[in-house]
A and B are shown apart, each in its own frame.
Chain A
Amino acid sequence: MNKPVSQTDLQLDDDAPLYAAQKKVYPQSVSGTFRRTKWGLMAFCLGVYYLLPFVRWNRGLGAPDQAVLVDLPNSRFYFFFIELWPQEVYYFTGLLIVAALTLFLMNAVGGRVWCGYLCPQTVWTDLFYAVERLIEGDRRERMRKDAAKGTMKLERFAEILLKQSIWLMIAWWTGGAWVLYFNDAPTLVKQLITFQAPVIAYIWIGILTATTYLLAGFMREQVCVYMCPWPRIQAALTDEWALNVTYKYDRGETRTSLKKANELRALGQGVGDCIDCYQCVAVCPTGIDIRNGPQLDCIQCGLCIDACDTVMTKIGRETRLIGYDNDINIHRRQEGKPPIYRIIRPRTVTYAALIAAVGAVMLYALLTRSLLDINVLHDRNPVAVKLADGSIRNAYTVRLLNKRGFDRVIAIDIDGPVNATLHVVGADSVTQDRPMIILARDTTTELRMLVTAPAESNHAKSVPVNFRVTDIGLGEVASATDHFVSP
Chain B
Amino acid sequence: MTEHGDLDHVSGRTTTGHEWDGIKELNTPLPRWWLITFYLTILWSVGYWIVYPAWPLVWSHTTGIWNYSTRAEVAAELANLEKIRGDKMVALGNASLEEIEKNPALLALARARGKTVFGDNCAPCHGSGGAGAKGYPNLNDDEWLWGGSLDQIMQTIQFGARSGHPKTHESAMLAFGKEGVLKKDQIVTVANYVRSLSGLPTAAGYDQAAGAKIFAENCTSCHGDNGKGNQELGAPDLTDKIWLYGSDEATLVETISNGRAGVMPAWVGRLDPSTIKALTVYVHSLGGGK
Interface of B is mostly: loop
Distance, CA A18 to CA B127, complexed state (A): 66
Contacts A10-B7, A381-B129, A393-B287 given; indicate if A388 touches B30 (C-beta within 8 A): no
B84–chain A nearest beta-carbon distance, Å: 14
Contacts A382-B129, A395-B286 given; indicate if A426 touches B107 (C-beta within 8 A): yes
- Chain B residues whose C-beta falls within 8 Å of the C-beta of A155 in the assembled complex: none
B63 proximal to A (CB < 8 A) = no
- Chain B residues whose C-beta falls within 8 Å of the C-beta of A4 in the assembled complex: 11-12
Interface residues of B (CB under 8 A from A): 1, 4-5, 7, 11-14, 27-35, 101-102, 104, 107-108, 111, 127-132, 138, 140-143, 237, 240-242, 285-288
Q: Mark A385-418, 1 if CB is under 8 A from B, else 0.
A: 1111110010100000000000000000000000
B131: nearest chain-A partner, CB-CB: A382
A386 touches B241 (CB 8 A): yes
A-B contact pairs, 22 of them (CB 8 A): A7-B7, A10-B14, A13-B5, A14-B4, A17-B29, A19-B35, A20-B28, A20-B29, A21-B31, A219-B33, A379-B140, A381-B129, A382-B127, A385-B131, A385-B140, A387-B141, A387-B143, A390-B241, A395-B286, A429-B102, A438-B104, A448-B111
A22 proximal to B (CB < 8 A) = yes
Q: Mark A9-42, 1 if CB is under 8 A from B, else 0.
A: 1111110111111100000000000000000000
- Chain A residues whose C-beta falls within 8 Å of the C-beta of B129 in the assembled complex: 379-382
B27 touches A388 (CB 8 A): no
A160 proximal to B (CB < 8 A) = no
B98–chain A nearest beta-carbon distance, Å: 9
Q: How large is the interface on A (under 10, 10 to 19, 20 to 34, 35 or more residues)?
A: 35 or more
A385 touches B30 (CB 8 A): no
Contacts A382-B127, A448-B285 given; indicate if A22 touches B241 (C-beta within 8 A): no
Interface residues of A (CB under 8 A from B): 2-7, 9-14, 16-22, 219, 222, 226, 379-382, 385-390, 393, 395, 423, 425-426, 429, 437-438, 445-446, 448, 450
B144: nearest chain-A partner, CB-CB: A388
- Chain A residues whose C-beta falls within 8 Å of the C-beta of B142 in the assembled complex: 387-388
- Chain A residues whose C-beta falls within 8 Å of the C-beta of B242 in the assembled complex: 386-388
Contacts A22-B31, A381-B127 given; indicate if A11 touches B14 (C-beta within 8 A): yes
Most chain A beta-carbon neighbours within 10 Å: one of B7, B31, B132, B287: B287
B7: nearest chain-A partner, CB-CB: A10
Further contacts, 5 of them, CB under 8 A, given A10-B5, A386-B241, A388-B240: A12-B5, A379-B129, A379-B140, A380-B129, A425-B101
A9–chain B nearest beta-carbon distance, Å: 8
B141 touches A12 (CB 8 A): no
A426 touches B104 (CB 8 A): yes
A450 touches B287 (CB 8 A): yes
A440: nearest chain-B partner, CB-CB: B104
Contacts A395-B286, A426-B107 given; indicate if A2 touches B11 (C-beta within 8 A): yes
A5 touches B285 (CB 8 A): no
Contacts A426-B107, A429-B101 given; indicate if A19 touches B286 (C-beta within 8 A): no
- Chain B residues whose C-beta falls within 8 Å of the C-beta of A9 in the assembled complex: 12
With beta carbons under 8 angstroms apart, the residue of A10, A20, A386, A438 that contacts B141 is A386
A64–chain B nearest beta-carbon distance, Å: 23
Contacts A393-B287, A426-B285 given; indicate if A388 touches B141 (C-beta within 8 A): yes
A18 touches B12 (CB 8 A): no
B32 touches A381 (CB 8 A): no
Contacts A12-B5, A388-B241, A426-B101 given; indicate if A382 touches B33 (C-beta within 8 A): no
Contacts A19-B29, A20-B29, A380-B129 given; indicate if A387 touches B241 (C-beta within 8 A): yes
With beta carbons under 8 angstroms apart, the residue of A2, A5, A226, A423 that contacts B34 is A226
Distance, CA A64 to CA B68, complexed state (A): 40
A387: nearest chain-B partner, CB-CB: B142
B31 touches A20 (CB 8 A): yes
B282–chain A nearest beta-carbon distance, Å: 10
- Chain B residues whose C-beta falls within 8 Å of the C-beta of A438 in the assembled complex: 104
B141 touches A385 (CB 8 A): yes
Contacts A5-B13, A14-B4, A381-B131 given; indicate if A395 touches B34 (C-beta within 8 A): no
Distance, CA A387 to CA B288, complexed state (A): 9
- Chain A residues whose C-beta falls within 8 Å of the C-beta of B237 in the assembled complex: 388
Contacts A381-B129, A429-B102, A448-B111 given; indicate if A18 touches B29 (C-beta within 8 A): yes
A9: nearest chain-B partner, CB-CB: B12
